[in-house]
Structure 1
Amino acid sequence: MKVVLILISIVFITFIAIQIYALKTQSSIETYSYEVHQKYKTFEIRTYEETLFTSVKLSTSGYKDSSSKGFSILAGYIFGGNERNEKISMTSPVAMTLTDSMTMMFMVPKEFSKETLPKPNQSSITFKKEPKRIVAALRFSGWANDKKIEDAKQKLKSALDQEGIAYSNRFCFLGYNAPYEVFNRINEIIVELK
């Protein structure tokens, strides 16, 4: 019984240490910055500046398969899978387009331009500049999955329709937390406004 209690204590202490580490590192990660223009009950209107992303188009559909595969490919690139074996800082959030063929994107740290980024070892990785854009954003918490993402997307569409705000069909999922983070998980659905 004593051994079991010791093991449970070790697991608990390790878990707490990982969560504290996650909270500290999250605050130092460069994020996709925006300016809020107006807040509504369930969503807000934002402007994002022109930003460069690394991206990979995925043949799989559905959040679970696409997010795992896309994250693996892009993380490989920023952790040194490039012509210079150069590590590139992680940024937040990780973005995924919500279309028939999903694209996963990592924001490029501002210190880089398209010309100064190392060439990826994987030919499926491309660099994509997202133009300045105005979006509506709806936030939800917890672990993301296909159902939660679709529910949030429908909730955002319904709220925009109710307010008479015209929007495009360019929906995107934003995930802000590392896979090992348990507390304060933040996810968002954004859509470009017309």
Structure 2
Amino acid sequence: MNKVLSREVSTVRLSFEGGESPSNPVANDNAVERLTQAINSNATAAEALLSKISMMRENAVSQETMEAYLNKLLAAGPDKRLPFWARSKRLARFSRRARMASLRRTLDLTTPAPEAEEETVERKLGRRRRALVALLRSISTEEGLDSKEPVIVTIENRARLASKESNEDMKSRMPEGLETPNYDIVATSKHNGQTIEIRRYKPFSVCAVNMNKPRPDAAKETDNKVRVPEISGASSFGALAGYLFGKNDQSTAMKMTTPVFTSPIEQGDKQMEFVLPSSYWDDDSLGTAPKPLSGSGVSLQQRVSQDRAVLMFGGYASKKEVAKRKRELMAALKKDKQWKAEEDEATTAQYNDPFTVPWRRLNEVSIKVVPK
């Protein structure tokens, strides 16, 4: 840890160990100045802000206090009223306010409003708080950024290009060390500059829960508490996480896998699916997997070998974006000379956690196919 960061961490520690009240945390320290430095390519400043947030957690500071800290940082920084000329990216190299405007645009790009949910001020603030922390993490660890311009401008550009990388770039976003279903690529094709893969999946197993049914009363005992309850599918995620991490008949915690699937089922409903560890991927071994607790609504299912057409994309897998990608995939299959869709509904796969910034996210839509 360098001297600047060490001094900042020491200041944070003293503020809590020494009894200073963090009722107005932004006013009590130089957080806004640190944020200004961070978006101007100062990784140490980003680390200092992240260290302060971590220190608040370690000292059992209330969730409300941490949220207030981030809310005030947003209000005093990117969400502060800025002059119209600050919109110019060209000025970001010279102007603090132009860099803040770039940060604001990046937050706007990375915090899309969820579909089918009533927007509220608190939901919007919650998304912006998470996005700000994710951006600080990115600044503190990012390598290979253009040193000729402020880091926030480079990040804004990456956010805008999140969905346009090649398949190879997309696959590099897959989290390391997590099991994922095995497949062979049996064919590829191009459609409007995008690569469509025909994958032959090998059998695997999932735990699944209906996303359209309300969670039962027993969910309090069977589900894991979700840190971000307002995100889409949070209750279903909590149900599957509860099962996977030990709330099952064997009290066995299993390793996390990737991706999280959203698949169509009967009567227009959808289900969320976690991939089970590979030790439960065949018929015999699935029978030895821990059983879901009664009332959890979780079921264990096996996926047989099948061919699927897959289109990868970055950014967020919003309802609107998924519908767009499905249309693109179906259009590509209609022109394909070897493969055709066997079904109309698409399955969505999301490989990254909700706190991953858009330009590092990997998503897929896939449709079952058969030879023509």
Give the TM-score of the pair, scaled to structure 2. Answer: 0.46
Report the CA distance shift for 1:4/1:66 in structure 2 as closer, same or farther (over 3 A): closer
Question: Whose strand proportion is higher, 1 or 2?
Answer: 1
When Rg is computed on C-alpha atoms for both structures, the one with the higher figure is 2
SS at match of 1:166: strand
TM-superposed deviation, 1:58: 2.2
Change (3 A) 1:133 1:25: closer
Q: Which has the higher contact order (CA 8 A, sep 6+)?
A: 1
Q: What is the match of residue 127 of structure 1?
A: 300
RMSD (Å) for aligned C-alpha atoms: 2.8
- Kindly provide the CA deviation profile for residues 36-89 of structure 1, in whole angstroms up to 9, marking residues without a partner as x: 1111113111100111111112226xxx97632221110111121112222111
Measured after TM superposition, the shift of residue 163 of structure 1 is 1.5
Partners in 2 of 1:18 and 1:89 — Cα distance?
Answer: 29
Counterparts of 1:11 and 1:58, CA distance in 2: 37
Describe the superposition over 1:7-47 as per-residue Cα deviations: whole angstroms up to 9, x where unpaired: 53333577428996xx9992101111211111111311110
> Percent identity over the alignment?
26
Residue 36 (structure 1) aligned with residue 36 (structure 2) = no
Q: Which of 348, 351, 360 is matched with 1:184 structurally?
A: 360
Q: Where do 1:36-185 residues align within 5 Å?
A: 36-41=185-190, 42=194, 43-59=196-212, 67-98=233-264, 100-112=268-280, 113-121=285-293, 122-164=295-337, 165-169=339-343, 170-182=345-357, 183-185=359-361
Q: Deviations over 1:137-183 (max 9, x none)?
A: 00110111000000000100001001143212242001110111114
Number of residue pairs matched by the alignment: 189
Runs of 4+ deviating beyond 4 Å: 17-20
* C-alpha contact (below 8 Å) 1:66/1:102 kept by paired residues: no
**Which segment is superposed worse, 156-165 or 142-151?**
156-165
Unaligned residue ranges in structure 1 (runs of 5+): none
> Once structures 1 and 2 are overlaid, which stretch shifts more, 130-139 or 68-77?
68-77
Q: Quote the offset at 1:114 in angstroms.
A: 1.7
> Given the superposition, is the C-alpha separation of residues 18 and 79 from structure 1 closer, same or farther in structure 2, using an over 3 Å criterion?
farther
Task: Judge which range, 39-48 or 120-129, deviates more.
Answer: 120-129
Between the aligned partners of 1:52 and 1:5, the Cα distance in structure 2 is: 48
Superposition deviation, residue 4 in structure 1: 2.4
Amino acid at match of 1:188: E
Q: Could you tell which deviates more after superposition, 113-122 or 140-149?
A: 113-122
- CA drift of 1:104 comes to 0.9
Quote the offset at 1:126 in angstroms: 0.7
Q: 1:17 and 1:143, CA in 2 relative to 1: closer, same or farther beyond 3 A?
A: closer
- For 2:365 and 2:138, the matched residues in 1 are separated by 30
TM-score normalized by structure 1?
0.85
Q: 1:79 is aligned with what amino acid? A: F
